[in-house]
Structure formats: C-alpha cells, structure tokens
Amino acid sequence: MQSMQQYMDEAESVLLHTYNRYPIVFDHGEGVYLYDLNGKKYLDFVAGIAVFALGYGNREYNDALKDQVDKLLHTSNYFYNVPAILAAKRLLKASGMDRVFFTNSGAEAVEGAIKTARKYGFLRDGRTDHEIIAMNHSFHGRTMGALSVTGNAHYRDPFEPGIGNIRFADFNDLTSVQAQVNKNTIAILLETVQGEGGLTPATPEFLMGIRELCDRKDILLILDEIQCGMGRTGYPFAWQKYDVKPDVMTTAKALGCGVPIGAFLMTEKVAQSSLVAGDHGTTYGGNPFACRAADKVLEIFERDDIPGHVREVAPYLEKRLGELVSAFDCIKERRGAGLMQGLVFDRPVAPVINKALESGLVLINAGPNILRFVPPLIIEKAHVDEMMEILEGAVREAAEQ
C-alpha cells in the first residue's frame, strides 16, 4: 500500500490545482470520527462542509444505498422513478413548499432558482431586463449564475462579466435593500444564515421586512438554505424559525449526506407562473440512487427528530465557545445559529486549524479570520467537550507564536 505522501504527490500530478488541501488522506469514517490511511483518528467538526449530518457509517443509510445499487442507478428524466417521487414528498412535507426540482449540487439549485425568477418576470410582463438583488458577503456557488449573485468580488472578478442585471445590498440592512429596488426588480436572493460570509444569521426584522417588501411589489423571495438548511439550525430549514416563507428555496449538502444531490423548491403560485417543459433540465438530477439517499435521510431526520437533537446540543456548543471568547483576547466574538457556529479572531485562523489538525480535530475557516464549526448533527455534549479540549490548546499555542 502506498503512503499518504505518495498518494498526495500523485494527486498533485493528476488533479487540477483548484484546492489548497490539507496534508491528509482520509480512508474511512465511523460516527463523528474520521481515520486517515495511517489509522490516526480525528474528531470531525466539518462534516464535509455541513454534508455528513448523520455522521459516518450509518447502517440504515448505507443499506438503503446498497439496495438501490442492485436495483437501478439511472434512467434519465424522460421516465418516472419511485425514489424521486418518495424523496419529493418527504422534502415538501419538511419544507412546506409545493414543487421541487432535483439537481446534482447546490450551485445548480441556485441556477434553477435564478431561471425561475427570470421566467416568472418574463411571463408577467414579457420583458427580459429584470434584476435580482443579492447580498454583499454572500456565497451561492461557483457556476456562472451562482457566482454572479455571490457578493464577494474576490470570487467574481476573474470571471466577469457575469450573467448581468444583478445588484448587491447589505445583509441585515433593510434600507440598503430598499435602495436597490426599482421597477425591474424580480427577486431578492439571500442566505437565511450567511455561511462563507461569516456565520451571520438574518435578523427577524430584516427577513420580515424583505418578505413584506416582496409581497408589496410582486418580487420573489429566494432563500438559499444549502448550508443552513436540513436541520442545522434546529429546524428543518432555517427560515422556519422566523416563520418567513420564501417563494423559492434552494437546498443541498446534507440532503444526500454524501451522495451529490440538491434541489430548488417553490410555491404552487410560482410553479404555475414560471418554468414549463423544455425550460430546464438535467441528465443526472433526480436519479434513483441520489433520491434514495435523500429519501432515507429525510426519513431518519423526521423519525429521529434530528432538528430537535440540534436544539438540545447547540446551546451547549454556544456556551463552550463563549468560554473561549472570554478566555482569549484574540477571539472577538461567537456568532451563528444551531450547529453552524463561528469564532471571529483578530488574526488569521490558519495556524489554529493546523494545530488542531495535528491534535486530531478537523476544522475549517469561513474567511481568513473566522473558525467555522459545522459538525455532524448527531454530536453529543461529550464530543463538544472533546473538541474544546483540543481547540483550547490549539488557540493557546497559536496565540503564543
């Protein structure tokens, strides 16, 4: 068997270098732990970037996928398949939305949401100059449409021009949004909790104000729940805590718990006034294998009340992270919602991440100075304590350098 270094050297010779990877080759996982090729154990507080909500090695989930492998993987969307129908019913029940289109990723879900909004505007008045308002410091994906509504010039600049007719406003600043609205505005797009932008939840006043504005001017409210959805904030979808329902919603990440699948959903009103046959499509989206994964994930989430478990554990994580804020001057604040938390430092956090990794804790950042915590949703308080013991040592060591 080759060493980890040999595998990493091979990867650098064959894979396009679009990621600065950490020097680890993971081999398998169990529960909330990952193991590298050498057998070293790591506590995982990243979950594949908020994907592995049920942790690793969930037998019920694995068996469902094995069963589907022996049945049918793909047929295309020219035909019906049972897993897609079952997954759609469960997803609509959890979200309270009316129609769903399955995609392969979150970025593709955002693309579909953008097309939905533009078609809605076209059918309303026959024009093609409609504009979408997105938020500064947002992140919606790397494809051209999703990138065009991502409110960070660092991501967009090398690939301009984008799709056009996009305006940006400030998150949690209703006046800023109102200033961007004009007769061409067809949609307002935002994350209910900003992820890459710094783990910042929308304020109730802001989200309710956006909803009222959209209702008054026949503007679609699009909520990106790709990272903050699927139980991560203690609700099936983060907007449900605010009781502010979107017209269009995107989801992905934990929807498949490792199997690539996303979706955009809409109300019946939008569905009857937007995309029709021939307007949108996908070869792989909604295939039986991916939808079997989503169906099983949604079944487990509902039966085992995963969002309820998040509401039990998250306050403890917030409390322990708050202790670090009090203990270290280099940590300025804790922010976030549920099991989607961040610690804001007054300096780059890369040294902390590297020290933690050496000690068997997997963390990532959200921008250069924010530590991000998006663990599997099945973590217990004991795992929080284990994480904190390693993290405190890593912060202390990094602060002394």
Percent over 70 (pLDDT), the chain: 100
Using CA atoms, how far apart are residues 373 and 390, in angstroms rounded to an integer? Answer: 14
Q: For residue 24, give Cα distances in angstroms to 8, 32, 46, 49.
A: 8, 17, 14, 16
Average pLDDT in the 320-341 region? 97
Query: In the chain, where does the domain assigned CATH 3.40.640.10 lie?
Result: 72-303
Using CA atoms, how far apart are residues 273 and 120, in angstroms rounded to an integer? Answer: 6
Using CA atoms, how far apart are residues 270 and 116, in angstroms rounded to an integer? Answer: 8
Give one DSSP letter per residue of 182-251, joined into a string: -TTEEEEEEESEESTTTSEEPPHHHHHHHHHHHHHHT-EEEEE-TTTTTTTTSSSSTHHHHT---SEEEE
Q: Is the pLDDT of residue 399 over 90?
A: no
Read off the pLDDT of residues 191-218 as tens digits, 9 standing for 90 and up: 999 998 889 999 999 999 999 999 999 9
Would you identify the CATH topology of the domain 4-58+305-400? Aspartate Aminotransferase, domain 1 (3.90.1150)
Using CA atoms, how far apart are residues 257 and 20, in angstroms rounded to an integer? Answer: 24
Strand partners, 334: 343
DSSP state for residue 136 in the 8-state scheme: B
Q: Are 84 and 78 in contact (CB under 8 A)?
A: no
- Residue 364: pLDDT band (50, 70, 90) is very high
Q: Are 236 and 192 in contact (CB under 8 A)?
A: no
Using CA atoms, how far apart are residues 51 and 189, in angstroms rounded to an integer? Answer: 22
Residue 37 has a CB neighbour count (10 Å cut-off) of 17
- Residue 398: pLDDT band (50, 70, 90) is confident
Read off the pLDDT of residues 121-161 as tens digits, 9 standing for 90 and up: 999 999 999 999 999 999 999 999 999 999 999 999 999 99
Average pLDDT in the 335-356 region? 97
Read off the pLDDT of residues 68-82 as tens digits, 9 standing for 90 and up: 999 999 999 999 999
Q: Is the pLDDT of residue 4 over 80?
A: yes
Average pLDDT, the chain: 97
Q: Is the pLDDT of residue 400 over 90?
A: no
Contacts (Cβ under 8 Å, ≥6 apart) of 225:
191, 192, 237, 238, 239, 249, 250, 251
Average pLDDT in the 8-26 region? 95
Counted residue by residue, the chain has a size of: 401
Q: For residue 118, give Cα distances in angstroms to 114, 124, 175, 298.
A: 6, 10, 24, 30
Contacts (Cβ under 8 Å, ≥6 apart) of 384:
313, 316, 317, 320
Q: Is the pLDDT of residue 381 over 90?
A: yes
pLDDT attached to residue 382? 98
Percent over 90 (pLDDT), the chain: 97
Query: In the chain, where does the domain assigned CATH 3.90.1150.10 lie?
Result: 4-58+305-400
Structure tokens belonging to residue 138: 């947002």
CATH code of the domain made up of 72-303? 3.40.640.10
Average pLDDT in the 271-295 region? 97
Strand partners, 400: none
169: phi then psi, degrees, rounded to nearest 5: -125, 175
Using CA atoms, how far apart are residues 253 and 104, in angstroms rounded to an integer? Answer: 10
Q: How many CA atoms lie within 13 A of 237 on its CB side?
A: 27
Average pLDDT in the 159-164 region? 95
Read off the pLDDT of residues 229-239 as tens digits, 9 standing for 90 and up: 999 999 999 99
Average pLDDT in the 293-306 region? 98
